[in-house]
C-alpha cells in the first residue's frame, strides 16, 4: 500500500509540475534567463567601473538615476497601448533592441576609452528599451500561467533572478579581470538576441488581437483617467504600490552607497560585494522554493507579509554595523523573507486587477516605482558624499518604516482584502 501511495503522490506531483511549466511559461522563463545572465554581469561590472573612474558616490548615483528616467514617462504611453495591442511582438522587439544596444556598447568600449557622458547616453537608450520590455513582460506573465497555479508560478518566476545572481555575481567579478567589461557586454548582446528568438515561439492565442482599435490622444487620456478613478476606490492597491515604490527606491538609492563602501573599505572590494549579493540570492532561492512546495494560508498572508517588511527595514538599518560574516547572514535572511513575501503579494495583486486594465495599472505602478527611485537615488547619492555609509543605511530604514506605517498598517483592512480575494480564487 505504501508503494502505491508513493506512486500516486509522484504522479500527482509530476502532473502539477507540468501544469506550472506549460509551453509558454517555460519559453518565457527561458528567455528571461538568457536576457538576464549577461545583464547581471554587465551592470555589476559597469557599476564598479563608474565609481572607480569618478570616485564620487553622487556620480555613481546619477548614472543609476539616468537609467530610470525613461520609466517616468514611457509607462504612461505604453500602458494604454498594451491594453489594446498584442504584447508578444513588443516583448520580442524589446529584447532584440536590448541585444543591439549591448553589442554597440561592447564594441565601442573595446576600441574607445571610457567616457562618463557616453555611458550616461548609452544608459538612457538601454533604459528606454528595457522599460518597455519590462512592462510587456509584466503584462504577459499572467497570461502564460495555468489557472489555479498562480502562486507556484510566481514563486518559480521569482527564483529565476536570484538563481542567476547566485551564479553570475562571483563569475562577474572574475570576468572583469579575465575578459574585461567590453566582452561581457558583447556576450550579453548575443544572449539578448537569443532571448528574442525564444520569445517569438510563444503561442498566445488570447493576446488581445481582437481588441486592436484606433488609438488617439483622447482615448489615451481617457484610459489614464480610468486608472486614477479605479485606484482612488482601491486604497489597498494604492498602499501596496506606494510602499513598494519607497522600498525599491531606498534599495536602489543605497546601491551606490554599498558599492562605494565596499570599494573604499580595506579588505573588501568587488569580490566581497559579489558574495554579499550571493548570500541574498541564496535566501531568495530558499524562500521561493518554500512557496513552490508549500503555501501559506490566505488568512495569514497579510500578517506574515507585514512582519517581513518590518524585519526587512530593521535588517537594512543595521547592515553596515555588522562584521562581514554577519552581513552575509543578514542578506540571507532578508532574501529568504523577501522572496516569500514577493510570492504572496504579486499573484494576489495581479489576480485582483481586471485583465482589461492590467497593463495600465502596472504602468502606473512602474511610473511610481521609478519616479520615487530616481528622486531617492539623487538625494541619497548627494547625502552619501557627506555622511558615512552606515548612517545613510539607517536613514533609509527609518524612511521605510515610516512609509510602511502610513500604507500597510493604516490601510490594513483594504490590504488584507486583496490577499483574501486571491485565496478565494484559489479555492474555486
Instruction: Express each pLDDT in 162-207 by its tens digit.
Output: 677 777 777 777 777 788 888 888 988 898 899 999 988 888 765 5
Burial label for 167, CB within 10 Å (0-12, 13-18, 19+), is middle
Contacts of 18 (CB under 8 A, 6+ apart): none
- Return the higher-pLDDT residue of 230 and 83: 230
Average pLDDT over residues 130-157: 77
pLDDT at 53 > cutoff 60: yes
> In this predicted model, what pLDDT tens digit does every residue of 100-135 receive, in sequence order?
988 998 898 888 887 888 888 888 888 888 777 777
Place 75 in a pLDDT band, splitting at 50, 70 and 90: low
Burial label for 191, CB within 10 Å (0-12, 13-18, 19+), is buried
What's the pTM value of the predicted model, to 2 decimals?
0.69
Cα(314)–Cα(311) distance, integer angstroms: 5
Share of the chain above pLDDT 90, in %: 17
pLDDT at 11 > cutoff 50: no
Q: For all residues of the chain together, what is the average pLDDT?
A: 80
Q: How far is CA 64 from CA 122, 310, 378, in A?
A: 12, 27, 9
Cα(377)–Cα(173) distance, integer angstroms: 24
Of 336, 291, 286, 346, nearest to 311 by C-alpha is 336
Average pLDDT over residues 258-267: 83
Cα(306)–Cα(402) distance, integer angstroms: 13
pLDDT at 218 > cutoff 80: no
Cα(362)–Cα(373) distance, integer angstroms: 16
pLDDT at 278 > cutoff 70: yes
* Joined grid coordinates for residue 371: 519616479
CA dihedral 363, 34, 374, 379 (to 10 degrees): 150
Is residue 339 within 8 Å of 160, Cβ to Cβ? no
Cα(344)–Cα(298) distance, integer angstroms: 9
Is residue 102 within 8 Å of 40, Cβ to Cβ? no
Query: What is the pLDDT at residue 64?
Result: 73
Of 134, 141, 173, nearest to 40 by C-alpha is 173
Query: What is the pLDDT at residue 242?
Result: 93
Q: How far apart are the first and last CA of the chain?
A: 31
* Joined grid coordinates for residue 348: 494576489
Average pLDDT over residues 251-262: 86
pLDDT at 6 > cutoff 60: no
pLDDT at 13 > cutoff 50: no
Is residue 20 within 8 Å of 146, Cβ to Cβ? yes
Query: What is the pLDDT at residue 128?
Result: 81
Of 80, 98, 108, 64, nearest to 226 by C-alpha is 80
Average pLDDT over residues 318-322: 92
Average pLDDT over residues 270-288: 80
Q: How far is CA 110 from CA 133, 179, 182, 193, 381, in A?
A: 27, 11, 5, 20, 29
- Return the higher-pLDDT residue of 210 and 54: 54
Q: Distance from CA of residue 135 to its chain's centroid?
A: 11
pLDDT at 331 > cutoff 70: yes
Query: What is the pLDDT at residue 10?
Result: 42
Query: What is the pLDDT at residue 210?
Result: 46
Query: What is the pLDDT at residue 7?
Result: 46
Contacts of 238 (CB under 8 A, 6+ apart): 231, 232, 411
Query: What is the pLDDT at residue 277?
Result: 78
Query: What is the pLDDT at residue 129?
Result: 80
DSSP code of 406? I
> In this predicted model, what pLDDT tens digit does every residue of 367-403 receive, in sequence order?
788 788 888 988 998 888 888 999 999 999 999 999 9
User: From the CA atom positions of the chain, what is the Rg in Å?
Assistant: 21
Query: What is the pLDDT at residue 315?
Result: 94
Amino acid at each position: 500500500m505504501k508503494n502505491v501511495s508513493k506512486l500516486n503522490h509522484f504522479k500527482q506531483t509530476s502532473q502539477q509540475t507540468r501544469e506550472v511549466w506549460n509551453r509558454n511559461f517555460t519559453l518565457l522563463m527561458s528567455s528571461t534567463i538568457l536576457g538576464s545572465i549577461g545583464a547581471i554581469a554587465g551592470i555589476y561590472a559597469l557599476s564598479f567601473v563608474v565609481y572607480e573612474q569618478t570616485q564620487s558616490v553622487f556620480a555613481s548615483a546619477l548614472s543609476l538615476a539616468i537609467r530610470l528616467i525613461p520609466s517616468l514617462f514611457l509607462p504612461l504611453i505604453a500602458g494604454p497601448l498594451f491594453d489594446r495591442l498584442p504584447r508578444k511582438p513588443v516583448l520580442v522587439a524589446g529584447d532584440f533592441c536590448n541585444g543591439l544596444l549591448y553589442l554597440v556598447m561592447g564594441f565601442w568600449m573595446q576600441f574607445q576609452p571610457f567616457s562618463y557622458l557616453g555611458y550616461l547616453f548609452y544608459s538612457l537608450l538601454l533604459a528606454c528599451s528595457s522599460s518597455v520590455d519590462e512592462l510587456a513582460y509584466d503584462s504577459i506573465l499572467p497570461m502564460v500561467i495555468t489557472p489555479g497555479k498562480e502562486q507556484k508560478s510566481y514563486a518559480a518566476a521569482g527564483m529565476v533572478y536570484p538563481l542567476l545572481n547566485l551564479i553570475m555575481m562571483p563569475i562577474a567579478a572574475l570576468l572583469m579581470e579575465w575578459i574585461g567589461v567590453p566582452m561581457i557586454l558583447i556576450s550579453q548582446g548575443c544572449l539578448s538576441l537569443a532571448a528574442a528568438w525564444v520569445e517569438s515561439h510563444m503561442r498566445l492565442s488570447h493576446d488581445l488581437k481582437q481588441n486592436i482599435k484606433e488609438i488617439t490622444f483622447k482615448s489615451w487620456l481617457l484610459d489614464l483617467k480610468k486608472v486614477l478613478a479605479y485606484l482612488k476606490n482601491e486604497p489597498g492597491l494604492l498602499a501596496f504600490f506606494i510602499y513598494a515604490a519607497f522600498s525599491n527606491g531606498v534599495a536602489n538609492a543605497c546601491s551606490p552607497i554599498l558599492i562605494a563602501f565596499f570599494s573604499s573599505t580595506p579588505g573588501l572590494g568587488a569580490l566581497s560585494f559579489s558574495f554579499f549579493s550571493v548570500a541574498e540570492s541564496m535566501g531568495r532561492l530558499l524562500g521561493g522554493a518554500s512557496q513552490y512546495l508549500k503555501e501559506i494560508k490566505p488568512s495569514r498572508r497579510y500578517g506574515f507579509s507585514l512582519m517581513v517588511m518590518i524585519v526587512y527595514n530593521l535588517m537594512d538599518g543595521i547592515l553596515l554595523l555588522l562584521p562581514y560574516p554577519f552581513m552575509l547572514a543578514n542578506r540571507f535572511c532578508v532574501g529568504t523573507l523577501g522572496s516569500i513575501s514577493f510570492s504572496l503579494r504579486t499573484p494576489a495583486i495581479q489576480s485582483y486587477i481586471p485583465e482589461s486594465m492590467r497593463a495600465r495599472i502596472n504602468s502606473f505602478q512602474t511610473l511610481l516605482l521609478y519616479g520615487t527611485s530616481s528622486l531617492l537615488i539623487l538625494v541619497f547619492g548627494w547625502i552619501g558624499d557627506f555622511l558615512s555609509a552606515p548612517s545613510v543605511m539607517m536613514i533609509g530604514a527609518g524612511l521605510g518604516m515610516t512609509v510602511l506605517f502610513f500604507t500597510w498598517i493604516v490601510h490594513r483592512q483594504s490590504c488584507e482584502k486583496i490577499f483574501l480575494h486571491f485565496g478565494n480564487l484559489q479555492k474555486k
